[in-house]
Structure 1
Amino acid sequence: MRKFVKIIIYYLLGTIAILALSVFPKYFRMRDLPEGEGYFSTLLSFLSKEFFQKEEWVYSLNGVDKKPILDVLWPAFIYSMEILFGAILLGCFVAFVLSILSFFLPKFLLQPIKRFLDLIESVPDIIIATLLQALVIFIFAQTGIEIFAVASYSEKAYAGPIITLAILPAISLFKILILMMEEEYLKVYVTFARSKGIRNFPILWKHILRNIIPVSFHHMKIIIWGLLSSQFIIERLFNVHGFTYFLVENFTPMTIAVSLLLIFTPFFILFQVVEIWIQEEQEKAREVKKDSWKQKMSFSNFLLSSKVFGINLRDGVRSFSWDKLSLIRPLTWMGKTFALHMKNWKFAIGSLFFIVVIGYSIIYSVTTDNHVDQMRLFYAEDGVTLISAMPFAPTEPFFFGSDRLGYSLFDQIVIGAKYTLFFALLIACFRVVVGLLLAVIYSFYLKQPAQQWVAKMVDSIHFMPLSLIAYILLSPILLPGFDGFSYSFWERVFLETMILTLLVVPLTTVLLGKEINRVSDYEFIASAKVMGGGKFQIFTRHILPHLGPRLTILFGQQFIQVLLIFMHLGIFDYFFGGTKLSMDPMFADPPQSSTYEWSGLIGQVGRGAIGSGQYWYLYILVPFIFAIFAMQLIVQGVKEVQQVKVGVIFKLPSFRKKKQSIQSKEVAPMITKESFTQIGRDANGNQAITPP
């Protein structure tokens, strides 16, 4: 009964968060108008006049026809869930089969497979969907065979969206299963079973899989969270009339609230039920751990409350002096750490990519004042013969082609690099730093019940698509109204940076807080506490060095996630810094980015460029792939440097290789009969050495 009450409370808290979120677009649009209200007034007005009024649950079609909102959204939601669960089942099946087939492969065959999957995983979902559509269109143009429908028109499209969405869970779950299988295979019970003559496959099927499936369930939350964000975009690319289509067509607080509740409710119930079942299955193991933990804590309290060598350790805890706080020390530490990691070629290449690209973009903007070449008509040398008109394909007059307005794609990529990469790095840094600061409070100052409550509340975020939430919050900020933008350029940049940061800070806080708790359970931390170490000293001198590699990995993951959000928003013409819209009703230009950042170019891919045969727009996707791959190199380099520190050596220095090769070439001395001397005694009894 207690667990059921907690579930109800968590669900109500998630519902309140959804309702509070649904009125943000209306509040931002109306705040500068004379009839505008405050945020809480807008929220209370929506709840009292719309949400709790049954007759207001309507969906407006084209602003004229009105239907019950569930009659419109429910079939669309079912269609979307059919695609989503089809992708989950297909991805899990492929991952399960491949993991079983690959587990017993030799290491020299398994490692290339893992590296290939890492490469595929770095390719964003938009690129996969675009390439898949281009491949189907190309095959149809060459052979007349339509593999599957690339978009929904009179009939619903299933194959394309399901295949595209299934790639992410298939790769992620395969890597997770392989890693857990390898760790489980090294445990004692597996060695005991092999000593009894049981073969490897029965051990894998009857024992290993049974132990790792409950653990893999927790990873499915992250996978489904990513799938929900990807589906928000895939439905747009494949023209699927799911809940995304109807949400965008009627962007009102009621539609937002009902759509998010339809997504949140089934996944919340499903994961809560499964989690309760897993907790009941593992209750005995938890009780054993709890008893050992109590004994450990009682022993620690005994040490802290007793006098060791005549000193009361509890009273001997040293306090932190703010006079010792200096900015030079962390900067020096960061410089030394960066220099150490630059010796790793993967980290060096990834870092140089960002330094060179951002630096070149800044130099280009300063020297040319953000000049972008434009040509609407391309004539021959005689100035009369028309060769082509915009958009231009590579290689003339522009080597990388142009957009629909005749602007050079390469110039736009160069100018927008500094905005895209710098602010993606900045947002990722804010997510990690703010999450780390709050994680310290979470770990050191919240008791265990409070930590569990916070973790459960934050866990609800996994059931709402991140890209959809960003779309809802940024709609009134990035799009201009009839009188232009409501905010200045730097205000739009600041608001978007803060919103994209705060959306993920709760997750990074709980994640890093749990990591701090895990490190705090180490024996050397208990020893530091016994010796009188304060919380600040223990965190900075002991815990933070262990978190360093984990923070870098988390930073890389957040950077890639920010780039994906930029791409997803770009499909809907939401560009970083604001979207310039043409108000000419007759000859309206396509939406453009005010900063030429890369998501503005992504929007052009989503406007039928591939379907019309303009394949050079795929060049726009290449910078995103390079940026993601460079960040993966940085993360991999940090992992290797950390593994070298703990004794796992990937590559010996050249002088050590040379020394080992010289030692191997030296011929060991041969021992023969002549190598010995005969020791005896003469006639007088004295010791005499006789040569051999």
Structure 2
Amino acid sequence: MKILSLSIQKYILGVVGIILLSCAPILFTLGNLLNFKLFFKEFGSVCKALITPAEWHLSYLEITTMEMIPFSLSSYFNGPYLYSMAILVLALLLSLFVSFFFAVMTTISKGPFKRVMSHFSELLIAIPDFSYIFIFQIAVVQVYLITGYRFVSFYSLGGEVVYVAPILCLSIVPTILFYKLFVALFAEEIEQSYVALAKSKGLSKMEILIRHCTSNVLKSIYHQSKSIVWLTLSSLLIIEHLFGIQGILYYLLNDFSPKGITFILISVFTPFYIFYQIGERIVNKREMERNTLFEKMQVPLIDKKQWKSIYLVKYKKSFKVKLNPFNNFIYKTPLFILLTLLTISLGYFFLYDDHIEQVNFVYNETGKIVSRAPHPPSSNMIFGTDTYGYSILQQLLVGIKYTILLTLIIATIRVVVGYVFGVIYVFFLNGKGRKIINSIADGMHFLPLTLLVFILLAPVLTTSTGTWDTTLGERLFIQIMIMSVIVLPVTTSLIGNEMNDALKKEYVQSSVVMGGSLIWIIIKHLNPQLWNKLLLYWTQHMVQVLQMFVHLGILSIFVGGARRYPDFPWRLVPEIYELSGMISISREVFMTKQYWMIIPPIFVFMLLIYCFNKLAEGIATKDSIKVPEKKQNRKTLMVNEKTEVLTKKTTFPRDYSRVFNRLK
């Protein structure tokens, strides 16, 4: 009964968070900027609507009459909601079975199959998820042109229901992530002692994997699957948009009101919350143990004697050792690529002031028009031009610096602020405070991150009047803050729990018993253990931010904003040229077959994602940090009291519980 009560409390807390997020766009609308009075008024009206059955309906725009038509929740659940959820669930199940099969084949293989699968998965994970949609659609069209047979429908027209194409496209990314996770977990299980015992009894490797290892691995897969579901939910929105599916996103865009947003987000949040709450009880998942050492003992913030005893030179040497991986070849190549792209883009700004040439018409020697925009690639225009005659190459040169710099800033804010909040989470919050943070973080895993950011940024970065009430700097600042703060509950919980694990080490507790101050414990014990993981989280967030830029660009949310002029309502004009804005025309490019306009920005995104993934992979490997063996294998604590010497040896086992966080 206590567990049920706790689950209901966490659910109510998640619903309150959804209502706050749904009302947040009011704070950024024109004329009501940061109007908290209106915000709380709307919050109250949404809460009232939730308990009033007469208000349980959505609305959609009738194009012929341009009127908002009420749409009952029962029709929503039986139609678009069930359609979207079926695609999502079937895609996740397909990815789970396919990844398990290939992971078993990889684990039992002895030839080059492992290397081929490893390199192939790295290549696939670097491709933006929406690219698979176009690859699939182009393949269907080419087969139809050659054979005259369309083997599958790939677009929903006139209410047509399509399943196969969106399920296949949506399952690719989770299949890769599940595959990498399965392979890593199987590798860890094979090293266990019970496997050696099974081998001594004559069992084959396949039998050991299926009959003994799989049960343990599936439990870990279940616990780590929240992050994969989180990513897949965001990809589902892009699948719906590019396949023309009238699902969850369609009705969200039509009823972009706080009440409509709340109903739709709750409909997405509730089934996953119930599934994982029931599943955690079935698999007997224990709640992560909280370290209560610092709640029961008075630990001073700083001790002057200990502070004076910290040898800065020694600490600097230790810091340099931690930076040694960047001298490795596995780091030099992606770093060189990133720095080269950034240098070229910045150099173009200083030399040419980000000038982008526009060529609407191309004339021959006699003055006759031979080409009009968009121009295909040629010797004069290497990558061609877009629909309005602007050079694709020059747009890339201008936009690369914005993409890289904004990605670095957002990822850095997420990790640094998450680290600071993690310290507060561990040392200054009580058990109830930590439970609230963990409840919010768990709830975030069941909401599409791209959808949340879209809801908050839509009123900030679009204008239909052609004028702005905010400056470009203010819009960039708001965008950076929203994309950074939206994941802070998850980042704080993740880093805080890593700190909790580090505090459970015996030598850390001994340091507290012997009078270690809080600053001493953080600098001398926590930071050396967390440094590699913080670097890993940093690179992972950069990949996540890049993917989010792509998704927002497809949904016509551009970096710095875009204007929609009344005379040309179908055209959005970006304020700055950035790579995600170049991808917004992806659907039109497929219909017109002018692929040269979108292939270059996709390739640059692939290159950036690949570089950051290689950095994360290098950091996650066991040998990436060259720590002296003496410091790596044991920690010696010596206390001289009269003639007694106390020596304590502590080993540092690998943390198996967060294998997925090293592979995302």
Taking structure 1 as reference, are residues 485 and 636 closer, same or farther at Cα in structure 2, changes over 3 Å only? same
The 1:58–1:564 alpha-carbon spacing in structure 2 relative to 1, beyond 3 Å, is closer
1:572-622 per-position Cα deviation (integer Å, ceiling 9, x unaligned): 21101111223214xx6731321101111010213x212211111222211
Q: Distance in 2 between matches of 1:325 and 1:239?
A: 65
1:615 aligns to 2:595 (yes or no): yes
Correspondence for 1:674: none
1:444-477 C-alpha deviation (Å, 9 max, x unpaired): 2334554344212320100000000011000110
When residues 420 and 72 of structure 1 are mapped into structure 2, their CA distance, relative to the original with a 3 A threshold, is: farther
Return the alpha-carbon distance in structure 1 between the equivalents of residues 36 and 438 of structure 2.
36
Amino acid at match of 1:423: L
Q: Which residue of 2 aligns with 1:680?
A: none
Q: CA deviation at 1:123?
A: 1.2
Q: Which residue pairs with 2:651 in the alignment?
A: none
Match of 2:281 in 1: 276
What corresponds to 2:41 in structure 1?
41
Paired residue for 1:576?
A: 559
Partner of 2:657: none
Q: Is the 8 A contact 1:348 1:634 kept in 2?
A: no
Matched, 1:597 2:612: no
Structure 1 position 102, deviation (Å):
2.1
Q: Distance in 2 between matches of 1:548 and 1:412?
A: 37
1:631 maps to amino acid = F
TM-score, normalised by the number of residues in structure 2:
0.87
Contact 2:408 2:542 in 1 (8 A): yes
How far is 1:551 from its partner?
1.0
Secondary structure in 2 aligned to 1:371?
A: coil
Aligned to 2:469: 486
**Letter matched to residue 97 of structure 2:** F
Which amino acid in the other structure matches residue 203 of structure 1? I
The structure whose Rg is larger is 1
- Equivalent pair of 2:325/2:624 in contact (CA under 8 Å): no
Residue matched to 1:179: 184
Tell me the distance in 2 between the aligned counterparts of 1:515 and 1:264: 26
Q: Secondary structure at the match of 2:283?
A: helix
- Matched with 1:388 is 371
Distance 1:349 1:33, change over 3 A: closer
- Residue 30 of structure 1 and its aligned partner are, at CA, apart by 5.3
Which ranges in structure 2 are unaligned for 5 or more consecutive residues? 630-664
TM-score normalised per structure 1? 0.83
Between the aligned partners of 2:600 and 2:373, the Cα distance in structure 1 is: 17
- CA distance change for structure 1 residues 437 and 56 in 2, over 3 Å: closer, same or farther? same
Matching residue of 2:71: 68
Aligned counterpart for 2:132 among listed residues 112, 122, 128: 128
Other-structure match for 2:640: none
Query: Does 2:488 correspond to 1:508?
Result: no
* Cα gap change, 1:325 to 1:432, in 2 (>3 Å): farther
237-246 or 34-43, which deviates more: 34-43
The answer to whether the Cα contact below 8 Å between 1:344 and 1:637 also exists between their aligned partners in 2 is no
- 1:317 and 1:532 in contact (8 A); partners too: no
Aligned to 1:657: none
Amino acid at match of 2:527: L
In structure 2, what is the Cα distance between the partners aligned to 1:541 and 1:391? 60
* Cα distance in 1 for residues equivalent to 2:21 and 2:238: 20
Deviation at residue 389 of structure 1 after TM alignment: 1.1
The CA deviation at 1:147 is 2.9
Q: Structure 1 residues 198, 32: CA separation in 2 closer, same or farther (over 3 Å shift)?
A: closer
Q: Which residue in 2 is equivalent to 1:213?
A: 218
**Which residue identity lines up with residue 370 of structure 1 in the other structure?**
D
Instruction: Decide whether the 8 Å contact of 1:346 with 1:636 is kept in 2.
Output: no
Is contact 2:25–2:459 with CA below 8 Å preserved after alignment? yes
Distance in 2, Cα, partners of 1:506 & 1:37 = 25
Report deviation, 1:221. 0.7
Matched, 1:354 2:359: no
Within 5 Å, which residues of 2 pair with 1:10-159?
Answer: 10-29=10-29, 31-32=31-32, 38-48=38-48, 52=52, 54-55=54-55, 57-62=57-62, 63-64=66-67, 66-74=69-77, 75-106=79-110, 108-154=112-158, 155-159=160-164
What is the root-mean-square deviation of aligned Cα atoms in Å? 3.2
Partner of 2:610: 629
1:342 to partner: Cα distance: 3.7
Distance 1:183 1:505, change over 3 A: same
Q: 8 Å contact 1:431–1:504 — kept in the other structure?
A: yes
Q: Which residues in structure 2 correspond to 1:523-538 (within 5 Å)?
A: 523-538=506-521
Counterpart amino acid of residue 491 in structure 2:
T
Percent identity for Structure 1 against Structure 2: 29
1:567 CA displacement: 0.7
Q: CA deviation at 1:329?
A: 8.5
Identify the residue that residue 373 of structure 1 maps to in structure 2.
Answer: 357
Equivalent AA in structure 2 for residue 253 of structure 1: P
Cα shift readout 1:38-94 (whole Å, capped 9, x = no counterpart): 321232244447873614734143352523331452210100011111101111110
Name the CA distance, whole Å, in 2 between partners of 1:33 and 1:316: 43
Q: CA separation in 1, counterparts of 2:437 and 2:82?
A: 32
Per the TM alignment, residue 564 of structure 1 is displaced from its structure 2 partner at its CA by: 0.8
Q: Against the structure 1 CA distance between its residues 204 and 45, is the aligned structure 2 distance closer, same or farther, given a 3 Å change threshold?
A: closer
> What letter is aligned with 2:526?
I
**Does 76-85 or 187-196 show the bigger shift?**
187-196
SS in 2 for 1:59: strand
CA-to-aligned-CA distance 1:9-38 (integer Å, 9 cap, x gap): 111111111112212224432544999953
Alignment of 1:466-477 (within 5 A): 466-477=449-460
